[in-house]
Amino acid sequence: MAKEYETVIGLEVHVELATKTKIFCGCSTAFGGAPNTHTCPVCTGMPGSLPVLNKKVLEYAVAVGLATNCDITRYSKFDRKNYFYPDNPQNYQISQLYLPICRNGHVDIDTAGGKKQIRIHEIHMEEDAGKLIHDEWNDTSLVDYNRSGVPLIEIVSEPDMRSADEVIAYLEKLRMTIQYLGASDCKLNEGSMRADVNLSVREVGSQKLGTRTEMKNINSFKAIQHAIEGERQRQIEELEEGREVIQETRRWDDNKESSRPMRSKEDAQDYRYFPDPDLTPIVISDEFLAKIKSQEPEMQDAKIARYQKEFDLPEYDAQIITSVKKMADFFEDTVALGANPKKVSNWLMGETMRLQKEKGMDQDQIPFSPENLASLIALTEDGSINSSVAKEVFEQVFADDVDPKQYVEEHGLKSMNDEGALRGIVEEKIAANPKAVEDYRGGKKKAIGAIVGQVMKETKGKADPGTVNKLIKEILG
Amino acid sequence: MDILNLTAVSLGEKIKAKEVSVKEATKACLGQIEKQDKTLNSFITVEPEKALEQAEKVQQKIDAGELTGPLAGVPVAVKDNMLVKGGLTTCASHILDHFHPAFSSTAVEKLQAAGAVILGKTNMDEFAMGSTTETSYFGPTRNPWNTEHVPGGSSGGSCAAVASGEAIYALGSDTGGSIRQPSSFCGVTGIKPTYGTVSRYGLVAYGSSLDQIGPIAKDVRDCATVLETIAGYDPKDSTSVKRDDYGFTKALTGSAKGLRIGIPEEYFGEGLDPEVKKSILDAAEALKAQGAEVSYFHLPLVEYAIPAYYIIACAEASSNLERFDGVKYGYRTKEYEGLHNMYKKTRSEGFGAEVKRRIILGSFVLSSGYYDAYYLKALRVKALIKKAFDEAFEKYDVILAPASPTTAPKLGESLSDPIQMYLGDIYTISVNLCGLPGITVPCGMDSKGLPIGVQFIGNVFREDHILQAGYAYEQTRTMEICPLCR
């Protein structure tokens, strides 16, 4: 009988913090500047320069720690991780090994089998490295230190996940939590959230952990799914064929949809970690902790409850709207303008998400203003436009953030509710469709749909279908 | 009047009184450099034109009443591990021999703001690693009292420049005695302040938890005055401290009355040259005669200070010097194949033997499997030594000690036996391990005509005690004048 295997997964998640300046100097963290323009002596490792901790980094790290139920280390330190590589200007990275800022946390995720707790081993603060650009044509390498010193936190989980679905649920939970805190935008595709996957397999029932591998460079949920499935399969094959899994770091290749070994344990580097003597220990006071706690924004669970109570939104709607902080913010902003909450929710969950998906956008990318959505809803509610015109106008709002009122006027899309004006067109279409009239009178009530359709076509969709129906029935008796 | 024999404070007064112009003072030093430095090699870089240009600007500001401080117009030499924008900073290393820094160190900026005229950058042991200024890529500095001998190190260039009148005062740095030991060898006065008193921003790091910048000058008043100018909290240095009081010159009362001075028995045993010993103990007697309470006590753990120091300093150095890799700045080997070969060749060619020895030692003690046995143990020893000093300072205001077991050795005698050289740091390194202030004041000459210095050690933030002791002692004797200044 074939053996059954269980997958055991732990994650190391790097999150780029949303500070304006770098972790140890005043340089901008803005993305996309010309190479080496967001740099200074500190983040390029010039002799004589010294790091000074950006307090905002500490605030974000502690906020994430509190939101993930961690113990906050009251006496914490930075350590140097020594390794030579040109993207690392000092040839050591300032990180935390011995006394990380947060420890022993957990988050709850929803799985097929119900709620599950994923434990967090630690969260530590560190600096990002620069970027190497290899010019193969000239056989040279260039280095851009704009990213050097951008603040990161690394969230290290315990090996508590058992499937790709759990991994994705965990990542989504982290992402949502951190977005709510405003500590990061957590974009996998832009690298502001990166996950390294530690995976091993063992026979079901075994308590002993198998030998694990670490996979790096996975930057989408799809890639995570595939990488986990592929690696599980690879390890099982090794075991089934009587070989051992080698402890190694593997690099995921998105194009090839497979991973290959980067380095094995044998050539693992000795990072010679030691406390950074340039930075004083971080002592977290009661006041600081209390301040961070008091600043914690309303998180998702509280919002879901409030939306149901305050806006009478169904739980399902509240869940979806609040799953992305920016969408929840947008929802609240639009409702604050007087729009009907359920209608706002419908537009967000329906057309907005449909168009986002169609255009390959993230859910936090809402390319129009709450004012214009509120105005569109108002036009539908006062009967100025009918629902099909509304959809058409919304596409314009989504594409160019147009003012719906102005757009409707300029394009003459206002509903034709005036029975006098419509009566002529209706009569004309009745006369042109004797077959439909006959069918209708013969009991096929649906037959007048054809006439309605022609009236709508003639009026370019502006006619109010209700009024048209009413008129047809009236005329046909 | 001989400008070169003036202290910084008295020259500053004469400049203010228009008895001497800034240009005259600067020219006097430049002339002495011209005359002596082919032999002494105190300087790595001298920039006469820049200095004279600066002298003119400073003179204008003094004349306009914009610069009124005690150091306005007084020429200074700066150790070549402190960045000064606009010129070279080499750390006496091949790997930085063409390095032009993009900014100046905080201490140098403070001096410049006070109207100092920078003459040039002084020679030192490569990256401040050494006790003789012989490990410099630019050749050794010679002792102005006897050029067959070393000036001590690592701030040997700064001390020799001050002793010979090439500069009126200088900045040095002290990681394990690098100001106090060469001050003793060169017959000048030098102070290493409490850790965190002078910003390390712009000081090329050797042992970050131990490094401090300090003044080297002819007497205690000069040192206190310069320290007042360069000290201060610096938000760019996380280890810099906000002190309540930076008024160091207030401590110069001229009296030693009531000062409790302790002499550690352990510092006067085997290994201490008898002539040095006598001279130091004579200084203790002189202070006693001035009303100080002097007594002997036991300072434990002295023998562990050297291994603890070399482990901690080298560990930090091995990491601090990783940035010198040929990628971004500094020397890069001419021919290489691939990245690792470039690193290897650049660093092999760019660093001298003593630096490599300390990088290797430091890398070793931080390696996995050795970290606990060496680095962590050294930190524990450091904590115990600190405790021993804390206990001593419950009873004493000042600890009186030698600065070195001997007077300056001859050139070439020390490097062949590095362990012997390291042992010579016995009286100075505990001060760095514990972050304490220490000052060396000349106290006599040996029979070979070489200077001897006495060291006063104070508790953290108690520069006032050691300045008071040093100044009171200084008043009891006549300063010897270096033959090159006569």
pLDDT tens for residues A6-62? 999 999 999 999 999 999 999 999 988 999 999 999 999 999 999 999 999 999 999
CB atoms inside a 10 Å sphere around CB A220 = 12
- Measure in Å the smallest separation between the Cα of B354 and chain A Cα atoms: 19
- The answer to whether B427 faces chain A, any CB pair under 8 Å, is no
Residue with tokens 């008193």: B197
> Which band of pLDDT confidence, cut at 50, 70 and 90, is reported for residue B355?
very high
Digit-coded pLDDT (tens) for A336-386: 999 999 999 999 999 999 999 999 898 889 999 999 999 999 999 888 888
Of the candidates A48, A82, A272, which has its C-beta nearest B101's C-beta?
A: A48
Whole-number Å distance between alpha carbons of A357 and A367: 13
- The answer to whether B318 faces chain A, any CB pair under 8 Å, is yes
Digit-coded pLDDT (tens) for A61-87: 999 999 999 999 999 999 999 999 999
Longest pairwise C-alpha distance within chain A:
96
> Which band of pLDDT confidence, cut at 50, 70 and 90, is reported for residue A459?
confident
Residue A2 has pLDDT above 80, yes or no: no
Residue A421 has pLDDT above 80, yes or no: no
3-state secondary structure of A477: coil
Residue with tokens 């902790």: A289
Whole-number Å distance between alpha carbons of A199 and A167: 11
> Would residue A80 be called left, alpha or beta, if left means φ above 0 and alpha means ψ between -120 and 50 degrees?
beta
Mean pLDDT score, A238-252 = 92
Contact B414, B403 (CB under 8 A): no
Digit-coded pLDDT (tens) for B64-114: 999 999 999 999 999 999 999 999 999 999 999 999 999 999 999 999 999
3-state secondary structure B24-83: HHHHHHHHHHHHHHHHHCCEEEECHHHHHHHHHHHHHHHHCCCCCCCCCCCEEEEECCEC
> Which band of pLDDT confidence, cut at 50, 70 and 90, is reported for residue B445?
very high
Q: Which domains does chain A have, with CATH numbers?
A: 5-288 (no CATH), 298-410 (no CATH), 419-476 (1.10.10.410)
Mean pLDDT score, A245-251 = 92
Bridge partner residues of B173 (DSSP): B213
CB atoms inside a 10 Å sphere around CB A329 = 15
Strand-by-strand arrangement of the B117-122 sheet: B43-46, B117-122, B75-79, B169-174, B212-217, B189-192, B438-445, B451-458, B398-402, B260-264, B293-297
Q: Which domains does chain B have, with CATH numbers?
A: 3-261+396-485 (3.90.1300.10)
DSSP label at residue B448: T
DSSP label at residue B478: P
Digit-coded pLDDT (tens) for B112-141: 999 999 999 999 999 999 999 999 999 999
Residue B53: both structure tokens together: 């240009």
- The answer to whether B91 faces chain A, any CB pair under 8 Å, is yes
Confidence (pLDDT) at A461: 79
Mean pLDDT score, A162-188 = 94
3-state secondary structure of A334: helix
Digit-coded pLDDT (tens) for A117-143: 999 999 999 999 999 999 888 888 999
Residue B323 has pLDDT above 70, yes or no: yes
Burial environment of residue B191 by CB neighbours within 10 A (0 to 12, 13 to 18, 19 or more)? buried
Mean pLDDT score, A268-280 = 94
Q: What percent of chain B has pLDDT over 70?
A: 100
- Measure in Å the smallest separation between the Cα of A56 and chain B Cα atoms: 16
Q: Give every CB contact of residue A163 below 8 A, 6+ residues apart in sequence.
A: A7, A9, A228
Contact A44, A245 (CB under 8 A): no
CB atoms inside a 10 Å sphere around CB B255 = 14
Chain A residues in contact with B200 by the CB 8 A cut-off are 50
Q: Within its chain, how far is the Cα of B356 from the centroid?
A: 22
Q: Is the peptide bond preceding residue B184 cis, with omega within 30 degrees of 0?
A: no
Give the DSSP letter string of B158-177. Answer: HHHHHHHTSSSEEEEEESSS
Whole-number Å distance between alpha carbons of B210 and B174: 8
Q: Which residues of B does the annotation mark as catalytic? A: 79, 154, 178
Q: B391-419 burial, b if ≥16 CB within 10 A, otherwise e?
A: ebbeebbbbbbbbbbbbbbebeebbeebe
Residue with tokens 């390291």: B422
Q: Give every CB contact of residue A100 below 8 A, 6+ residues apart in sequence.
A: A73, A76, A122, A123, A124, A125
Confidence (pLDDT) at A269: 82
Chain A residues in contact with B101 by the CB 8 A cut-off are 46-48
Q: Which of A261-270, A392-401, B157-166 has the highest mean pLDDT?
A: B157-166
At CB < 8 Å, which residues of chain A contact B? 41, 44-53, 80, 82, 84, 86, 89-92, 141, 143, 270, 272-274, 277-280
Output the average pLDDT for chain A. 92
Whole-number Å distance between alpha carbons of A149 and B39: 46
Mean pLDDT score, A435-446 = 83
Closest-CA residue to A363 (of A325, A401, A313) = A325
DSSP label at residue A360: T
- Test A52 with B322 for CB contact under 8 angstroms: no
Digit-coded pLDDT (tens) for B204-252: 999 999 999 999 999 999 999 999 999 999 999 999 999 999 999 999 9
Residue B1 has pLDDT above 70, yes or no: no
Whole-number Å distance between alpha carbons of A287 and B368: 38
DSSP label at residue A352: I
**ipTM here:** 0.96
Closest-CA residue to B349 (of B49, B114, B160, B95) = B95
Of the candidates A50, A86, A277, which has its C-beta nearest B209's C-beta?
A: A277
- Test B366 with A82 for CB contact under 8 angstroms: yes
Closest-CA residue to A201 (of A232, A224, A234) = A232
Residue A266 has pLDDT above 70, yes or no: no
Chain B residues in contact with A91 by the CB 8 A cut-off are 322-323, 325
3-state secondary structure of A469: helix
Lowest mean pLDDT among A278-282, A440-444, B122-126, B261-265: A440-444
- Test A89 with B323 for CB contact under 8 angstroms: yes
Instruction: Decide the pairing of beta strands B117-122 and B43-46.
Output: antiparallel
Of the candidates B105, B207, B327, which has its C-beta nearest A48's C-beta?
A: B105
Confidence (pLDDT) at A189: 83
> Which band of pLDDT confidence, cut at 50, 70 and 90, is reported for residue A427?
confident
Residue A1 has pLDDT above 60, yes or no: no
Of the candidates B202, B323, B368, which has its C-beta nearest A270's C-beta?
A: B368
Residue with tokens 């006097």: B28
